Homo-oligomer: A and B are copies of this chain.
Amino acid sequence: MSAENPGDPAAEPDPGSKLVGSDRVLAVLAELARHPDGIGLEEMARAVSSPKPTVHRALAALRRAGLAAQHGHGRYVLGDEFLRMAFAHHEARPDHVRVMPVLKALCERHGETVHYAVLEGPSVIYRSKLDPAAGAVRLTSVVGGRNPAHCTAVGKVLLAHALPDEAAVRAWVGGRTLHRPTPRSLGTAEQLHAELQRVRAQGYATDDQENEPGVNCLAVPAYLTSPTTPSGAISVSGLAYRTPLRSLIDDLPAIRAIVAGKEPA
C-alpha cells in the first residue's frame, strides 16, 4: 500500500483502462473514433491494453452494428453507420432545430463562426456550430466539445445567470485554480465575479482573446425552454485582425434582434 495500488497486479501504463465486457467494447469504439485514418488490431489491443482475441471480438460486435468497418485487410475504421447516427441525431435535436435559423442569420451577417453552447459544470459544451462559407481559418471547437466556462463568452453569459453572487462564484470555483489558456484569461474568483456583474449589467459577454490568442467572441443568452432561465448561449466568434470585438459590440442591437427571432430589417 505504498506507491503500488493494492489489488492492481501490475502498474498500468494506461490507468483507468482495465475494462471488461461492454465497457471494453465501448472503449474500443472510442479509441476507433480517435483514429480517423484507421487502426490495426494490434495497435488497438495495445491502446486498450487487452489481449488481441478480446479486442477482435469487440470489433466484430461493432462491425455487426455497423459502427466499425475494415479497410482492405485488417485496418479498422469507424463505420458509416456511426456517422449517420450522429449527424442525423444532431440535426433532429430540438434545440439544434430551434437555434439553426438564428445561427444561419448571424453567420451570414458577420461572416464568422457562430456557436450555440450550454453550461455543464466547469465547462461549456458546444451543441451547434456553423462555419462561414468563406472562412479559411477553422476554429478548434467541435460539436460536443468543451471549453472552460470562465474564459469563453458563452460560458460567462451562462455563469452570470447561474452564479448571482460572490459566494456562488466561490462555490463554483471550489478548490481548483482556474485554468488560464492565454494571459488575458480570468484567474481568480474575484475577477470572475466582477466580470459576471458586468455581464449581468450589459446583458452580454465578451471574450477578448481569453480562450485562444487572436480569437474574440461576443455571446448573448438564448431562452429556448424558459423565458427566465437561459437554456444556453449563442456566440459570434471573430478573428481579432478581421473582426475586432468593437465591431461585434456595435452590432449588438441587430444580434439581439436576430436571436430574439426577428430577422433584421
Copies in the complex: 2
Interface magnitude class on chain A: 35 or more
A230 contacts chain B at the CB level, 8 A cutoff: no
Q: Is the CB of B94 within 8 A of A142?
A: no
How distant is the Cα of A37 from the Cα of B92 in the complex, in angstroms?
A: 8
Q: How far is the CA of A160 from the CA of B87 in the complex (A)?
A: 29
Chain B residues, Cβ within 8 Å of A78 = 89
Does chain B have a CB within 8 A of A83?
yes
Bound: A37/B89 CA distance, A: 9
Judge if A7 is at the interface, Cβ distance under 8 Å.
no
Bound state CA distance, A78 and B67, in angstroms?
15
Task: Collect the chain B residues with CB atoms within 8 Å of residue A64's CB.
Answer: 23, 26
Considering the chains assembled together, what is the distance between the CA atoms of A260 and B250 in angstroms? 42
A88 at the interface (CB under 8 A from B): yes
Whether a CB of chain B sits under 8 angstroms from the CB of A107 is: yes
* A46 contacts across to B, CB distance below 8 A: none
Closest partner residue, chain B, to A97 (CB atom): B36
Beyond A84-B145, A85-B144, A88-B144, list 10 extra A-B contacts (CB 8 Å): A21-B61, A22-B61, A23-B65, A25-B26, A37-B94, A80-B146, A84-B144, A86-B86, A87-B143, A108-B134
CB pairs A–B below 8 angstroms (6 shown): A22-B58, A26-B61, A36-B89, A83-B143, A108-B133, A132-B133
